[in-house]
Amino acid sequence: MGNSALVADDYRRLEEIQEELVRAWLTHDRSILDRLLAPEWMVTQADGRTSTREGVMLEFDSGGNRLLEGNVDDIKVRVFENCAIVTGCTYARGEYKGRAYEVRLRFTDSFVRRGGEWQAVASHACRIPEM
């Protein structure tokens, strides 16, 4: 397989990962998150708070944040050898600690390739203002 085919595979795989992450939240499948989020992963939330992987997983396991509907679009991938940056938009509707929410976010996910697999190491989201 030539180098351009490898790069195309990386782009395709990183786009798929975004879909898998949404599916993990919709189906409450922790095994997907365990595979795709690096142990040192952290996220900067839309409100400016930062959360560690451990904190997000505790909330995930407790059911405190339930995603009822979600999707991603406008995905753009940039690959730099063993690192990648993925940007896009997320639509999410769900319940957070019993309160309903519906939001559209723009995100940036940073990935590192480890053992041939991509893992997210940092994420950032900001709210897209309603038009």
Residue 55, domain CATH: 3.10.450.50
pLDDT of residue 64: 83
Continuous segment of H or E residues that includes residue 6: helix 3-27
Residue 25 structural domain: 3-127
The string of DSSP letters for 9-69 reads HHHHHHHHHHHHHHHHHHHT-HHHHHHHEEEEEEEE-TTS-EEEHHHHHHHHHHT-EEEEE
pLDDT digits (tens, 9 = 90+) for 100-124: 999 999 999 999 999 999 999 999 9
Which 8-state DSSP code applies to residue 98? T
Domain tally for the chain?
1
pLDDT digits (tens, 9 = 90+) for 33-90: 999 999 999 999 999 999 999 999 998 999 888 999 999 999 999 999 999 999 999 9
- Tokens linked to 68: 């009822």
- Tokens linked to 131: 């038009």
